[in-house]
A = this chain, B = another copy of it.
């Protein structure tokens, strides 16, 4: 049931704001990287102690603090140093959040779901990304040190595009855009599988095909849960005050919003296709059964009366005049062949043959 509902109950009865990791595996210790840049300069380093970050956040440069690993104690320490509300700390560690957006006085907190398609297990894997966007900084949290943001990092390093000319809001947009781009990749993989299943359906529908359809449906449910709420999050981003999202970044936000709608469209399309495929599957199966039944019926219907006739003349009554007749045997054959021809004609007329 991965990605659909997890061990949330571990938290029951604890005071609110208590950060408890709820994922299936032990969370990794937090690993902190700090990137600071402006149009001219660029600096990247690894940080051991959360306290070291404080100065960075105060500098007028754009600062991007990335934290990999959600070990509860580490997150609490980082959060406390940076002055994040306990509820933020709790939400970062609780990886069962839906995508959401919470506004605080001097920063915005939002949760995204990164989706990847594991080729080996053929499972959709979901990782939670938490972002805190302040005036000049972004703090991002990931479950594992994935490489999904490497492309962004590289773009900053190489001063490619306009990223170093824009503020932290544009960086936030870029990260969201990366996540949404990932949805397209996953949906394409799913689309390929859907096409394969469609072909299977036409050629040779089997019970495994049915389980595949159900498996795809389950995957669509998981992806849908991650994407649907994102739509609202991005639409609310667009409406945030000017102090947080400048006008020129907002254009980009609307663009990523359009992409989210495209993803949702695709999900709905696949759901429609999959439910149509289920109908096809069921009909193909019952069609196959029909053909088998037809054969049985035709064979049975033809031979059962003939066998009866043979049975009659296999009886041992002493007084059965036909047995003595000279041409009884060929005559019976004639009768049998006639009966068979009539029956076949009857089946033909009914289009059963």
Q: Which residues of A contact B (CB under 8 A)?
A: 1, 4-5, 7-9, 11-13, 15-18, 85, 87, 90-91, 96-98, 100, 102, 151, 155, 160-163, 173-174, 177-178, 181-182, 184-185, 187-188, 191, 194-195, 202, 204, 207, 210-211, 214, 217-218, 221, 225, 229, 251-252, 254-256, 258, 261-262, 265-266, 269, 272-273, 276-297, 299-301, 303-308, 310-320, 322-329, 332, 350-352
Please state if B262 and A9 are interface contacts (CB–CB under 8 Å): no
Question: In the assembly, what is the distance between CA of A329 and CA of B308, in Å?
Answer: 15
9 interchain pairs, CB-CB under 8 A: A11-B181, A16-B174, A98-B265, A204-B351, A210-B280, A299-B300, A300-B300, A314-B314, A319-B327
Chain B's nearest CB lies how many Å from the CB of A65? Answer: 22
Q: Which residues of B contact A225 (CB under 8 A)?
A: 265, 269
**Given contact pairs A161-B15, A311-B311, A318-B323, A187 touches B5 in the complex (Cβ within 8 A):** yes
Question: In the assembly, what is the distance between CA of A217 and CA of B278, in Å?
Answer: 13
Question: In the assembly, what is the distance between CA of A142 and CA of B15, in Å?
Answer: 21
Please state if A173 and B16 are interface contacts (CB–CB under 8 Å): yes
Please state if B300 and A185 are interface contacts (CB–CB under 8 Å): no
Q: Select which of B8, B311, B315 is within 8 A of A329 by beta carbon.
A: B315
Question: In the assembly, what is the distance between CA of A86 and CA of B44, in Å?
Answer: 29
Please state if B299 and A305 are interface contacts (CB–CB under 8 Å): yes
Residue of B nearest to A225 (CB): B265
Question: In the assembly, what is the distance between CA of A4 and CA of B270, in Å?
Answer: 9
Chain B's nearest CB lies how many Å from the CB of A305? Answer: 6
Chain B's nearest CB lies how many Å from the CB of A255? Answer: 5
Q: Which residues of B contact A292 (CB under 8 A)?
A: 290, 293-294, 297, 352
Q: Select which of B277, B278, B286, B308 is within 8 A of A286 by beta carbon.
A: B286
Q: Which residues of B contact A217 (CB under 8 A)?
A: 272, 276
Q: Select which of B177, B214, B324, B352 is within 8 A of A276 by beta carbon.
A: B214
Please state if A293 and B295 are interface contacts (CB–CB under 8 Å): no
Chain B's nearest CB lies how many Å from the CB of A71? Answer: 21
Which 3 residue pairs spanning A and B have beta carbons closest together?
A310-B311, A15-B161, A313-B315
Question: In the assembly, what is the distance between CA of A151 and CA of B217, in Å?
Answer: 40
Question: In the assembly, what is the distance between CA of A48 and CA of B16, in Å?
Answer: 33
Q: Which residues of B contact A8 (CB under 8 A)?
A: 184, 188, 262
**Given contact pairs A85-B251, A98-B262, A293 touches B293 in the complex (Cβ within 8 A):** yes
